[in-house]
């Protein structure tokens, strides 16, 4: 039976992954954890542990005490926050990861590690960026994700641990807000559209980046973790995408539902530079052929669902 620990469970992905995993494997088998506990969150709906993954002893103890055999390691700082404090990012993203890998090694756990489009940099091909290509990022976040991918593969090769990962693009969702990422505009735009009918975007209107909708992000993680290992030629980490879109295209999709919606632009130079160093679009064919990545939401379907779900929640 699976006993799953989710680190960083109060964040954008964790807030929804924990419920998704609890529906699938049973509430008592999924232990949410985080540095803080948010009242009224998934922390109140099942097992929860206060856990800062930079604390190696506590990380090992939480795994041991709960007889964990699978870890979804989500605790991480994102790209824009990382540029404000690179040392803090390195501490959380890298020391946190090795503590999780060491706990996994001590107790024979499988690990899911979310990597990112941030592993690519200006030397990578811009369009249909392949699975295997140059990964020389210019952000500390991207550097931590490339290093993390290599470290995860190393623990697989050296110690035989089952570690798998996805290169997530921007994730659009409606439960917890993302914090400190470059792709955050694509979430904030929906809240602003519903509350104020207007959004000021921090990226230029023609900045193309890959995105997926949260239900696909969750299903992708679980599907990869359940895939037949004999079919995986890669492990860390698979390119995945569902749509390559610009702020202008996203605004147009929202306008179809809300004709009075307007967008203007106040460019944040830090996040624009980061976005410009990332691919316009990814080639995710390896994920499709090796383990059946098959996203259900394109721009139109995601926009319709986001507006519907969020309108009900905000009202
Ligand atoms: N969403 C992340 C960010 O913008 C990318 O992985 O930092």
**273 with 231, same domain?**
no
Q: What is the pLDDT of residue 200?
A: 98
pLDDT in tens, 244-273: 999 999 999 999 999 999 999 999 999 999
**63 with 180, same domain?**
no
- Is the C-beta atom of 119 inside 6 A of ligand 1? no
**201 with 135, same domain?**
no
Quick one: which atom of ligand 1 is closest to the CA of 116?
6
Compute the distance from residue 269 Cα to the ligand 1 centre, in Å.
16
- Is the C-beta atom of 82 inside 6 A of ligand 1? no
**9 with 150, same domain?**
yes
Compute the distance from residue 65 Cα to the ligand 1 centre, in Å.
32
Q: Does residue 87 belong to any structural domain of this protein?
A: yes
Compute the distance from residue 154 Cα to the ligand 1 centre, in Å.
24
Single out the catalytic residue among 72, 141, 155, 185: 141
Q: Does residue 122 belong to any structural domain of this protein?
A: yes
User: Which CATH number do you get for residue 265?
Assistant: 3.90.25
Compute the distance from residue 291 Cα to the ligand 1 centre, in Å.
24
Whose alpha carbon is nearest atom 1 of ligand 1?
Answer: 170
Compute the distance from residue 183 Cα to the ligand 1 centre, in Å.
6
**41 with 86, same domain?**
yes
Quick one: which atom of ligand 1 is closest to the CA of 183?
4
**78 with 221, same domain?**
yes
Pocket test for ligand 1, best of 115, 176, 177, 183 (most atoms within 8 A of CB): 183
Whose alpha carbon is nearest atom 2 of ligand 1?
Answer: 181
pLDDT in tens, 157-210: 999 999 999 999 999 999 989 889 999 999 999 999 999 999 999 999 999 999
Q: Mapped to the 3 state alphabet, what secondary structure does the chain carry?
A: CCCEEEECCCCCCHHHHHHHHHHHHCHHHEEEEECCCCCCCHHHCCCEEECCCCCHHHHHHHHHHCCCCEEEECCCCCHHHHHHCHHHHHHHHHHHHHHHHHHHHHHCCEEEEEEEHHHCCCCCCCCCECCCCCCCCCCHHHHHHHHHHHHHHHHHHHHCCCEEEEEECEEECCCCCCCCCCCCHHHHHHHHHHHCCEEEECCCCCCCEEEEEHHHHHHHHHHHHHCCHHHCCCCCCEECCCEEECHHHHHHHHHCCCCCCEEEECCCHHHHHHHHHCCCCECCHHHHHHHCCCCCCCHHHHHHHHHHHHHHHHC
Q: What is the pLDDT of residue 62?
A: 98
Count of domains forming the chain = 2
Quick one: which atom of ligand 1 is closest to the CA of 117?
6
User: Which CATH number do you get for residue 224?
Assistant: 3.40.50.720
Residue 315 has pLDDT above 80, yes or no: no
**11 with 79, same domain?**
yes
pLDDT in tens, 107-148: 999 999 999 999 999 999 999 999 999 999 999 999 999 999
- Is the C-beta atom of 14 inside 6 A of ligand 1? no
Q: Does residue 32 belong to any structural domain of this protein?
A: yes
Mean pLDDT, range 78-102, rounded to an integer = 97
**137 with 203, same domain?**
no
**165 with 191, same domain?**
no
**274 with 222, same domain?**
no
- Is the C-beta atom of 170 inside 6 A of ligand 1? yes
**38 with 187, same domain?**
no
Is 191 an annotated catalytic residue?
A: no
Which structural domain, as residue segments, surrounds residue 252? 170-211+242-280+296-314
Q: What is the pLDDT of residue 213?
A: 98
- Is the C-beta atom of 183 inside 6 A of ligand 1? yes
Q: Does residue 261 belong to any structural domain of this protein?
A: yes
**30 with 101, same domain?**
yes
% of the chain residues with pLDDT over 90: 95
């Amino acid at each position: 039976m699976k006993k799953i620990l989710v680190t960083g469970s109060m964040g954008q992905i964790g807030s929804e992954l924990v419920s998704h995993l609890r529906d699938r494997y049973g509430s008592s088998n999924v232990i949410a954890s985080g540095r803080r506990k948010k009242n009224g969150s998934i922390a109140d709906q099942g097992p929860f542990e206060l856990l800062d993954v930079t604390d190696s002893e506590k990380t090992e103890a939480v795994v041991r005490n709960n007889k964990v055999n699978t870890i979804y390691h989500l605790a991480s700082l994102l790209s824009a926050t990382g540029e404000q404090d690179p040392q803090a990012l390195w501490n959380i993203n890298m020391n946190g990861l090795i503590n999780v890998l060491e706990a996994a090694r001590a107790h024979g756990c499988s690990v899911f590690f979310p990597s990112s489009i941030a592993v690519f940099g200006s030397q990578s091909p811009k369009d249909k960026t392949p699975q295997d290509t140059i990964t020389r990022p210019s952000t500390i976040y991207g550097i931590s994700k490339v290093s993390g991918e290599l470290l995860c593969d190393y623990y697989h090769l050296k110690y035989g641990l089952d570690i798998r990962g996805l290169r997530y693009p921007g994730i659009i969702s409606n439960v917890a807000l993302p914090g400190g990422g470059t792709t955050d505009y694509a979430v904030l735009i929906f809240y602003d559209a519903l509350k104020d009918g207007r959004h000021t975007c921090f990226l230029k209107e023609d900045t193309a980046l890959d995105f997926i909708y949260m239900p696909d992000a969750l299903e992708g993680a679980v599907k990869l973790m359940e895939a037949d290992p004999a079919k995986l030629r890669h492990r860390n980490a698979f390119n995945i995408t569902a749509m390559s879109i610009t702020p202008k295209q996203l605004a147009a999709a929202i306008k179809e539902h809300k004709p009075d919606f307007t967008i203007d632009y106040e460019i944040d130079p830090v996040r624009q530079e980061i976005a410009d160093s990332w691919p316009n679009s990814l080639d995710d064919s390896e994920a499709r052929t090796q383990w059946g990545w098959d996203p259900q939401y394109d721009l139109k379907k995601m926009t319709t669902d986001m507006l519907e779900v969020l309108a009900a929640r905000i009202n």
